[in-house]
Structure formats: C-alpha cells, structure tokens
C-alpha cells in the first residue's frame, strides 16, 4: 500500500530519534520513498550521514544551502505525508504559534500535504496546559497526532511521553495513505479457530492461526470499511479502530456474527469452526481411568451455510482449506453454502498451510475462477477485499 508513496520526515531533537532510523528502513522495504529534514539540534544526536544512508536520499538541514530554489516550498510539493518524528514540545509550540525560524517549521507552514506529529517529550512538559493547548489547537486545525506511550523516559522517570514504536507509526502511515475504496461498507471478518470443550481443562480445536483474518481486518479498516473483527483463539493482536469481539465456541461465533449480520454489507468467514463437537461437556475435570476411552462427537452446525441462507444483499466469502480435490470440493462448497466466493487453498502445499505468512489461493465465484501464485497474506487479503469494491 505504500509503494510509490513519498514520505517527508521532519526530525527534531529528542532521544527517540534512534527509532526513526528503524521506521525509515521499514518504509523503504514497503516501497516508499523517504526524504528527511533535520533541525540543527537533531544533528547533535545523530549525524545526517546516518539518515542519508538509511533513506538513500539527501538530508536537508539548512534552508539556505540551495540558493537556486525555494527549498522549504519545493521539498513539500510532491509529498504524500509529512511526518514530524520525534515531535518535541518545542516544535509543536512553534508550529501552533506560526513561528518559522528553521527549515523544518518553515516547511510545515508551507506544506499542502497532510502533517502528522509523533509526540516525544517529558511527561511534565506533555501534561503542561500550554502543550495540551498547542496539541488540541493543531488537531482542531486538521493536523494529526500519533499519541505517545507510557514508559521509561530519558529523564529517568516513568510516564507518558515516550514516542510510539516504529511499527505503531508505520500502522498509522499505512492507514492514512491507503485509498478508502471500502468507505461506507460494514464488513464482518471472522478469524481463527473455535474450540469444543471436553471438560474445564481440555478441548479440541484446529491449527488455524488467524493470520489471514488479521490481515483482512487490518486492510479492510485501512481501506475505509467499518470492521467487526471476531476472533477465536488467535495469537494475533487486537486492532485499533475496529470492533473487536472474542469468541471460543461455535455457538459464540454464530451468535456474534448474527448480532451484526443484518445491517452489514459482507461477511468474510476466515474463521475455522470445529467440524465436530463433544456431545456432552463435563463440569469437572475428567480423571484418568483406563488406557482407552471413548467420547461421542456430534457434527457441528454449518455457520457459513447458515448465513449463506440468511443473506439478503450481503456478500458472503468463505474458505476451503483442502488437502485433495481442492477445486472440486471448493466448487461444491460454493453452491452448498450459497456463498458469493470461496477462497480455495491446498494446505498440504509448502508455505500454503496453517501458521505461515504466505498462501497459494484460487478465488472461485459463480462466473469466476482465478488461481494466484504464492503471495504474502497481506497481498491475499487485498485480493479478497477487492471482491467487495463496488
């Protein structure tokens, strides 16, 4: 989503400056072009050569070093996002007051690109009413702020003011710069495995990791959808700016979907409900008795088929994780579940099964069948979400 985007990073002086190096590296790996402005004070923390090496671009520190052009205007002309990181209380105050006494603050005033501040400051300075007024005033004017975290600060105190981690800032940038082609749509994304309990300490489940569902929910959010993110037992983190719902059993999953389904635009069933459940569940831990024990399993309710039969104008997308006759089984599933699309994959293939970061899929619809090569789950998620674009 960042390929071809141009990010201008304004670096003011703060100990969090070292985090910006990792951020630039991550941005470049995602295909973004990065340019850097440093204040004079920032160059006392890190030599500009370091930023030039990481960004593979010239670093600007002086407004008058290029007399043949108006640098503070030219440098912002073709920028997609102007990020100030670290954004100190001093720089924030200058911008709010309209002070343009260095290249960075002058460029901010000249910028037509969206500007975001990644706050980094001492707790007392952050909580000072003057700083709070400056932040709130800039937000009212349309500037974005990436909130700081609590933690150990350079002044040997613990509190708010620690600049957000590079991965958090990267998430903000991806969200900010992603085309909102799913705006106005409510999308339910169910992810990960469910369980069936034998007793309070034992259960059956499957190998689903929830990684595909996580990428689907994250990318749908970034593309402007209202996302309801329903997860079973997954190791993936919660997502900001979506409705997070945790479930355990098939009944939990069905009830959570049904509560949101009738005013939604789409259901993407990336969850892996257990196919069979214990007929009875013990309230107490079952003690070991003999070497061989028998338990009765019953077939679980087919949640995808249930909602396929309930749909009105919703799009239903399901998955077929198979080990043989993949396309044949997926096409049968498409008809039986009354789905709009089935995403088929052979989980026996290398790098296409559970708990990996890649997949090999075939998208099957009523009048469509397209096979894709091995892709990252991020790429797979966007291919699936493209099916929802009106």
Q: Is 354 labeled as ligand-binding? A: no
Which are the contacts of 124, defined by CB distance < 8 A and separation ≥ 6? none
What is the rounded (10 degree) CA torsion for 38, 43, 45, 47?
110
Question: How far apart (Å, rounded) are the C-alpha atoms in residues 182 and 318?
Answer: 19
Question: How far apart (Å, rounded) are the C-alpha atoms in residues 31 and 231?
Answer: 31
Q: Is 240 labeled as ligand-binding? A: no
Q: Is 45 labeled as ligand-binding? A: no
226 in Cβ contact with 374 (< 8 Å): no
Identify the bridge partners of residue 146 per DSSP, sorted by sequence position: 118
- Active-site annotation holds for 381: no
Own/partner contacts of 71-75, CB < 8 Å, gap of 24 or more, are: 71/103, 71/107, 72/100, 72/103, 72/106, 72/107, 72/110, 73/110, 75/8, 75/35, 75/37, 75/107
Task: Cis check for the bond before 324: say yes or no (omega within 30 of 0).
Answer: no
Taking residue 132's Cβ as centre, other Cβ atoms within 10 Å add up to 11
Q: Is 197 labeled as ligand-binding? A: no
Q: Is 333 labeled as ligand-binding? A: yes
Q: Select which of 49, 65, 127, 155 is catalytic.
A: 155
216 in Cβ contact with 384 (< 8 Å): yes
Q: Which residues are annotated as a binding site?
A: 275, 285, 319, 333, 337
Which residues are catalytic, by number?
155
Q: Which residues are annotated as a binding site for CTP?
A: 275, 285, 319, 333, 337
């Amino acid at each position: 989503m960042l390929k071809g985007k141009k990010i201008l990073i304004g670096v003011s002086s703060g100990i969090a400056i070292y985090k910006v190096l990792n951020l630039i590296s991550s941005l470049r790996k995602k295909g973004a072009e990065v340019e850097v402005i440093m204040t004079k004070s920032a160059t006392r923390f890190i030599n500009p050569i370091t930023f030039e090496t990481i960004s593979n671009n010239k670093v600007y520190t002086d407004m008058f070093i290029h007399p043949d052009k108006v640098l503070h205007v030219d440098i912002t002309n073709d920028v997609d996002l102007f990020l100030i990181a670290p954004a100190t209380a001093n720089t924030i105050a200058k911008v709010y007051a309209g002070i343009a006494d260095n290249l960075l603050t002058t460029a901010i005033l000249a910028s037509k690109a969206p500007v975001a501040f990644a706050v980094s400051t001492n707790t007392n300075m952050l909580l000072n009413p003057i700083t709070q007024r400056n932040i709130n005033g800039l937000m009212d004017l349309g500037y974005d702020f990436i909130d700081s975290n609590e933690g150990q600060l350079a002044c040997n105190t613990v509190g708010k003011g620690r600049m957000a981690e590079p991965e958090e800032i990267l998430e903000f940038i991806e969200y900010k710069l992603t085309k909102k082609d799913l705006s106005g749509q409510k999308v339910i994304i169910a992810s990960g495995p469910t369980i069936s309990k034998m007793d309070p300490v034992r259960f059956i489940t499957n190998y689903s990791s929830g990684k595909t569902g996580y990428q689907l929910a994250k990318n749908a959010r970034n593309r402007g959808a209202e996302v309801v993110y329903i997860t079973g037992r997954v190791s993936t983190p919660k997502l900001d700016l979506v409705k997070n719902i945790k479930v355990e059993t098939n009944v939990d999953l069905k009830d959570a979907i049904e509560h949101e389904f009738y005013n939604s635009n789409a259901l993407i069933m990336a969850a892996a409900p257990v196919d069979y459940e214990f007929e009875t569940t013990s309230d107490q831990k079952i003690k070991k008795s003999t070497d061989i024990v028998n338990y009765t399993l019953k077939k679980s309710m087919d949640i995808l088929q249930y909602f396929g039969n309930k749909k009105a104008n919703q799009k239903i997308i399901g998955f077929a994780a198979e080990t043989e006759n993949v396309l044949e089984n997926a096409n049968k599933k498409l008809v039986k579940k009354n789905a709009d699309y089935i995403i088929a994959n052979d989980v026996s293939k290398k790098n296409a099964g559970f708990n990996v970061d890649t997949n090999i899929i075939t998208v099957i619809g009523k009048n469509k069948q397209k096979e894709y090569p091995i892709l990252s789950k991020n790429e797979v998620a966007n291919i699936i979400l493209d099916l929802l674009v009106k």
